Copies of this chain bind each other. A is one copy, B any other.
Amino acid sequence: MAQKKMVTAITSMNEDFAQWYTDIVKKAELVDYSSVRGCMILRPYGYAIWENIQKILDQRFKETGHENVGMPLFIPESLLQKEKDHVEGFAPEVAWVTMGGNEKLTDRLCVRPTSETLFCEHYAHIIHSYRDLPKLYNQWCSVVRWEKTTRPFLRTMEFWWQEGHTMHETAQEAIEETERMLNIYADVCENQLAIPVIKGKKTDKEKFAGAEATYTIEAMMHDGKALQSGTSHYFGDGFAKAFDIAFTGRDNTLQHPFQTSWGMSTRIIGAIIMTHGDDNGLVLPPAIAPIQVVIVPVAQHTEGVLDKAYELKERLQKLVRVKVDDTDNSPGWKFAEYEMKGVPLRLEIGPKDIEKGQCVIVRRDNREKYFVPLDQLEQKLPELMQAVHDGLYAKALQNRIEKTTAATNMEEMKAATDGKNGFVKAMWCGDLACEEKLKEECGISSRCMPFEQEHLSDTCVCCGKKAKAMVIWGKAY
C-alpha cells in the first residue's frame, strides 16, 4: 500500500532511464526548452535548487578566503590563442561573435567557454610582488560550449557554473589549493547533496586543456553510469608564462606564479536527479530543497483546518523552508504533485489530527509515516530531514557498491562491461593506447585514479605490462 504508485504520467526508470530523466525535468518543472538550440530555461523550481547550491558553495568559498569578481562574457580570438593546448581544446567548440551592430569585427570574439585567459590577462595587471599573492578569485556566470547533442543539465550549450581561478607564490601552495577545493566539492556532495563521490586524479587523456593535473570527484548514477561532478585543475606556471604574469619574489628575483582553477556547474542538478530520483519523480536532499516541508491540509473546508495549517507554517518557517498548499486540488493530487517535485517531507493535517494535537509526516525517500505531536515538531522535523539525507546517502552508496566490480584481464573487463553499466576497478600501465583500446572494445573511459588506491594485481588489465595505478573505469554522462 505504501508502495502504491501515485503518479503514472512518467516513464518507469527501469523501462527507459533516459526517458524517465526527461520526464522528470519537465514534470517537476525544472526546465523548459526554447527556440535556442541546446540551451535550457531554468524555471523557478530548477533555479531555486541552483540558488541553494550556490549559497552553500559561496559560503564555503568565502570562508576559505575567496572573493567574487565579474569577468567579461567575451574573449577576443587573439587572447584565446595565447596558451596553445588550451586553444586547441576549446576553439572547436565555441560560439563566435563576428558582427557588432552592423560592423564586422576584425578580431572575432568567442563567448567564454571558460575564463582562464581572461583571468590571466587581469592577473598580469595586478600581480607585481609576492605581497600581491595569493589571489583567490571566483566568478558565478554561465559559459557556452557548442555541443552537438544536448540534454538538460547534463550537456547543454549554455550552462551555469562557478569558476575559481587562483594564483600562488609556490607550486606547493597551488597544489594545496586544488586539493582544498576538491575536498570542499566532495564535502558538499556528500554532506549536503547526499551523493557519495570518489576523489581522484584524471589521466592525461581526460585532463583539462592546458592543465598539468586535473582532480575530479566522480559519482555513480542510479543506472550505473558515472557523472563527473566537480573538477579542480593545477596549471603549474604554464599560463603565467604565456601571459607574462611575473612578480618580484621574497629573494628579489622575478618569478612566475602558480595557478589553479576549479568548477562546479548546474550539471550537479542532473546528478541529484539521477542519484536520488524514483518512479514517483524527483527526490531532493533536504539541504537544497526549495520546499523542505509541504503542509497538505486534509478536509481543508472543515472549520479550523486551514487556520491550523497557516499557524504551523508561521511557526515552522523559522526552522525550515515550508509551504502550505491551500489550492482546491484534492489531497491525493497534492501528494502526487509534491512527490513529483521531490519535497523531502509532507505534513498532513486534518480535523481528527487537530483533535488529537498531532499531524502525519511522510518521508519522500521511503514513504515512512510518522504521527507527530504538534508540540514536538521543532524537534522532529530536523531529525526527519537528517534521516532523509542519511537514507538517500546510504541508498546511493549501496547502489555504487553493488555496481562496482574489479577486473584483472580483458576477459573479465569485457564480462564486466558487456551490456552493463557500473564502475570497474582495474590496474593500468599508464599508456594512452590502453585507454583507447578499452574505449573501443568495452565502451568505457577512465574516470579517475582514485586517491585511495588498491593493489588488485601487478599488471595492466589491457596490455599485461607493469601497472602504475588503479583506475576506475566506466561509461560516463
What is A's interface to B at a CB cutoff of 8 Å? 32, 34-36, 39-44, 46-48, 50-51, 67-76, 78-79, 92-103, 108-109, 111, 118, 121-122, 125-126, 137, 141-142, 144, 146, 158, 160
Given the interface pairs A51-B68, A109-B95, A121-B34, the reply to whether A144 lies near B73 with Cβ below 8 Å is yes
Roughly how many angstroms separate A326 CA and B34 CA in the complex, as a whole number? 53
Given the interface pairs A34-B121, A34-B122, the reply to whether A158 lies near B101 with Cβ below 8 Å is no
B99 and A99 within 8 A (CB): no
Nearest-Cβ distance from residue A270 to partner chain B, whole angstroms: 15
Roughly how many angstroms separate A96 CA and B104 CA in the complex, as a whole number? 10
Q: Which residue of B lies closest to A105 (CB)?
A: B95
For A93, list chain B residues within 8 Å (CB): 101
For A50, list chain B residues within 8 Å (CB): 70
Nearest-Cβ distance from residue A414 to partner chain B, whole angstroms: 35
A-B contact pairs, 10 of them (CB 8 A): A34-B122, A35-B121, A36-B72, A36-B76, A36-B109, A47-B68, A48-B67, A72-B158, A92-B102, A96-B100
Given the interface pairs A74-B158, A100-B146, the reply to whether A35 lies near B79 with Cβ below 8 Å is yes
A41 and B76 within 8 A (CB): no
For A75, list chain B residues within 8 Å (CB): 36
Please tell me how many copies of the chain the complex holds.
Answer: 2
Roughly how many angstroms separate A158 CA and B158 CA in the complex, as a whole number? 17
Nearest-Cβ distance from residue A44 to partner chain B, whole angstroms: 4
Roughly how many angstroms separate A36 CA and B118 CA in the complex, as a whole number? 9
For A68, list chain B residues within 8 Å (CB): 44, 47-48, 51
Which of the residues B47, B108, B146 comes within 8 Å of A69, measured between beta carbons?
B47
For A47, list chain B residues within 8 Å (CB): 67-70
A94 and B98 within 8 A (CB): no
B69 and A39 within 8 A (CB): no
Given the interface pairs A32-B125, A34-B121, A95-B109, the reply to whether A41 lies near B70 with Cβ below 8 Å is yes
Q: Which residue of B lies closest to A119 (CB)?
A: B41
For A67, list chain B residues within 8 Å (CB): 44, 47-48
Roughly how many angstroms separate A144 CA and B144 CA in the complex, as a whole number? 15
Q: Which residue of B lies closest to A135 (CB)?
A: B44
Which of the residues B39, B48, B73, B142 comes within 8 Å of A158, measured between beta carbons?
B73
Nearest-Cβ distance from residue A334 to partner chain B, whole angstroms: 15
Which of the residues B39, B122, B126, B137 comes within 8 Å of A73, measured between beta carbons?
B39
For A144, list chain B residues within 8 Å (CB): 73
17 new A-B contacts at CB < 8 Å, known A44-B67, A100-B146: A32-B125, A34-B71, A34-B121, A36-B74, A36-B109, A36-B118, A39-B73, A41-B69, A41-B70, A41-B118, A42-B70, A43-B69, A44-B68, A74-B95, A96-B99, A97-B111, A101-B146
A39 and B146 within 8 A (CB): no
Roughly how many angstroms separate A111 CA and B71 CA in the complex, as a whole number? 16
For A44, list chain B residues within 8 Å (CB): 67-69, 137
Which of the residues B43, B71, B78, B96 comes within 8 Å of A41, measured between beta carbons?
B71
For A94, list chain B residues within 8 Å (CB): 101
Q: Which residue of B lies closest to A39 (CB)?
A: B72
For A141, list chain B residues within 8 Å (CB): 142
Q: Which residue of B lies closest to A29 (CB)?
A: B126
A41 and B72 within 8 A (CB): yes
For A73, list chain B residues within 8 Å (CB): 39, 73, 111, 142, 144, 158
Roughly how many angstroms separate A46 CA and B70 CA in the complex, as a whole number? 9
For A34, list chain B residues within 8 Å (CB): 71-72, 118, 121-122
B41 and A122 within 8 A (CB): yes
Nearest-Cβ distance from residue A153 to partner chain B, whole angstroms: 12
For A79, list chain B residues within 8 Å (CB): 35
Q: Which residue of B lies closest to A108 (CB)?
A: B99
In the A-B complex, the 8 residue pairs with the smallest Cβ-Cβ separation, listed nearest first, are A42-B70, A44-B67, A39-B72, A96-B99, A101-B146, A100-B146, A36-B72, A98-B98
A35 and B69 within 8 A (CB): no
